[in-house]
Structure 1
Amino acid sequence: MSHERLVRDWLEGWNGRDLDRVLAHYAEDAVFQSPTVLLGDPDGDGTLRGRGAIRELCERALARFPKLRFELEEVIERPSGVMVLHRKHNVFAARPGLTVETFETAGGLVTRNVVYWSAEEVAARFRSI
């Protein structure tokens, strides 16, 4: 599967609220880094390890944001994976902020996923605490 197809299928999984589809793209021992993780564990390093831990976070996200929707902006190929620019709708910010995610892959699966929020999204999330 091409990186672009992986990204599109991943986003379609999110938009369809199909976590099995989303998580099918992650290696069993995948690493996930995000400010979302840091909000839940301020003393941690913002990192989850393993598909099971990633699933738990995704389940909480869908429960908290039942209208969450992703809009793809761009897919940028990288030597070890892909960079994705997308907008998240119906979360903290009044306007959908641009989010950047990197996916490192091996054997067609995501081994590392790092999320970077836009300044708008960071401000909106920390205002809501």
Structure 2
Amino acid sequence: MDLEFAQKFAAEWREDWNSHDLERILAHYHEDVTFSSPMIEHFNGDASGTVRGKDELRAYWRTGLARIPDLHFDVMDVRAGVDSLVIDYRNQIGGRVYEVLAFRDGLVIAGFGAYGTVLAVEERGEEE
């Protein structure tokens, strides 16, 4: 993977998330995707923090989009690896997040979100 692909993907990723169109977001993900995030336990109650398969990912993100109607991402930086990329972004409450995505056959096959002191959630004035 080269940096040009990574930057183009990150720009589309940002536009897709900011559109709140779940199927548009999921179009980049493989049916067998695995995704891990501390937000999975927060939204779905799954202590493993991992969803497996596109259907589980869809359910997780559907919940997230419903609970955070003002969700918005701004890409700060992008890094390219051999078959992966890292998107450094700020969310709607200013939290800095890193999303690491590994690709197979042009689609995301695995990913994880990594958070600092501010998680991606702010619901009704309460910040985690």
**TM-score tier (shorter):** 0.7 to 0.9
Aligned pair count?
A: 122
- What is the letter of the counterpart of residue 111 of structure 2? N
Report % sequence identity: 28
Match of 2:54 in 1: 51
CA distance in 2, matches of 1:128, 1:68: 14
The residue that corresponds to 2:63 in the other structure is 60
Contact 1:26-1:51 within 8 A present in 2 as well: yes
Structure 1: 5+ residue runs without aligned partners?
90-94
| Contact 2:6–2:79 (Cα < 8 Å) also in 1 | no
For the residue of structure 2 that corresponds to 1:121, the secondary structure is coil
Q: Residues 1-129 of structure 1 correspond to what in structure 2 (within 5 A)?
A: 2-39=5-42, 40-41=44-45, 44-89=47-92, 95-121=93-119
Aligned-pair CA distance for 1:128 = 5.3
Q: TM-score, normalised by structure 1?
A: 0.84
Residue 120 of structure 1 aligns with an amino acid whose one-letter code is: V
**TM-score between the two structures when normalised by the length of structure 2:** 0.85
User: Structure 2: which amino acid aligns with 1:119?
Assistant: T
Q: Structure 1 counterpart of 2:85, which letter?
A: V
CA–CA distance in structure 2, aligned partners of residues 50 and 36 of structure 1:
17
What's the offset of the Cα at 1:62? Answer: 1.1
- What is the root-mean-square deviation in Å for CA atoms of aligned residues? 2.3
Q: Does the 8 Å CA contact 1:14/1:70 hold for their aligned counterparts?
A: yes
CA shift for structure 1 position 61? 1.0
Aligned-partner Cα distance in 1 for 2:127–2:18:
24
Q: 2-side partners of 1:77 and 1:63: how far apart? A: 31
SS of the residue 1:101 aligns to: strand
Higher relative contact order (CA 8 A, sep 6+): 2
Secondary structure of 1:37 counterpart: helix
Query: d(CA) in 2 for partners of 1:70 and 1:36?
Result: 15
